[in-house]
Chains A and B, each alone.
Chain A
Amino acid sequence: MGRAEQAVEVCLMAGEQMIKYGAETYRVEDTMRRMAEASGMKHVHSFVTTTGIFLSVQTKDEVDVMQMTRVNERYQDLRKVTEVNQVSREYVFGELDLEDVKKRLQEISKAPMSYPMWLIVLASGTGGAAFSYLIGQSVIDMGPAFLGGIVTMLSLVIFQRHIGGKFFSEFLAAFFGGVTALVLVQLGFGSNIDQVIIGTMIPLVPGIPLTNSVRDLMSGDLVAGVSRGAEAAITSLSIAGGVALALSIFLT
């Protein structure tokens, strides 16, 4: 494989990692363009959507190279985005060569999440409890919201591992979180069911697709923006459906 193909491959690797872990489309396109230009390519065109990345360049010998990558899975891990961003910055400033970049990108891709799963589950409970206080200003509701947030995140992780299917797992997680909240309030913990359920559901809010969708639409990446907006909308509907199911079982 020639040097040019290798450079294109490394650019695509960086782009794939960024889109996979939740970067904005314009940042991915910009990073890939800068990296390709730093490797001496001309006529660089990068086109990024939420599910696939295209890069076409012309090498120094005036040979056209075009490659694409499919992005199948998307996670939320902003630390990896930050790290890939740093690597590409160092490469563009000439502090790293292509081999180093490839090695660093492979390390980032193999690295585990920056926080252990139990901490994320705990953070979900804490965030739920704090948010339920912000909405209702009642300290009693924080306990059940904490437990509900933990159940929601735990069931999301478990269902995603064993069932797969992003939206269905979110639906089930919302359902089980809602049931936990309703049972706890029925047993006499917490005073206001609404605040408890809101606190329980808040860890599921699709923050990254939502924000990135707005960002993408406004910087002119219409295809990526609409697809991310659709992702966020379906996630919100799954959550609403899960809670609605739990509520209608308990209300009747």
Chain B
Amino acid sequence: MWLELLLCFIATAAFGIIFNVPLRLVWIGGLIGIIAWFVYAYMPTLQVSPVFSAAIAAFTAAFFGHLLARRLRVPVTTFAIPGIIPLVPGGRAYNTMLSFVEEDYLGGLELGAETLLQAGAIAAGLVFALSLFSMRKGVAERYETKRS
């Protein structure tokens, strides 16, 4: 497990370098990646479905990303983008493509739906953290409640 967390740190930090994140912030992104991976890997042992754990992990990553971005006065993208990289459904996406190459279209569609669901779960986690941090700023409301 320790090897896994260490490799997760390395993967996230490497992605920080690929996205040209400043060196003083790379290791923070790595820590956020570790937290996200920990949540994502150990939620299923509590009988939680993988899609829901991906959502919670993405929320955790984005939450800490927003918190640190606010404290250090840098754009939140610097932490959030490398932080959710460990959650990317690479395996499912690959298997989807493999099924289509092998002309197993039905299996491909099934796996594709799973991939999309997990990607959507990551997006949902990100959005939930964003809405927590932009509370009372009024992003895209339906009624003009401020006017009385």
Residues of A within 8 A of B (CB): 22-24, 27, 76-82, 85-86, 89, 113-115, 119-120, 123-124, 126-127, 130-131, 133-135, 137, 153, 194, 197-198, 201-203, 205, 207-208, 210-212, 214-215, 218-220, 236, 240, 243-244, 247-248, 251
Contact = CB atoms under 8 A, between A and B. Distances in A.
Contact of A211 (B17, B20, B25, B81): B81
Contacts of A240: 93, 96-97
Interface residues of B, number: 49
Given A27-B75, A244-B101, A214 B126 contact: yes
Contacts of A198: 90-91, 94
A23 B37 contact: no
Interface of B: 3-4, 7-8, 10-11, 14-15, 17-23, 25, 37, 73-75, 77-78, 80-82, 84-86, 88, 90-91, 93-98, 100-102, 119, 123, 126-127, 130-131, 134, 139-140
The 7 closest A-B pairs by CB, nearest first: A127-B14, A130-B11, A123-B17, A220-B140, A123-B14, A77-B20, A130-B7
Given A114-B20, A131-B11, A220 B94 contact: no
A130 B94 contact: no
B18 A203 contact: yes
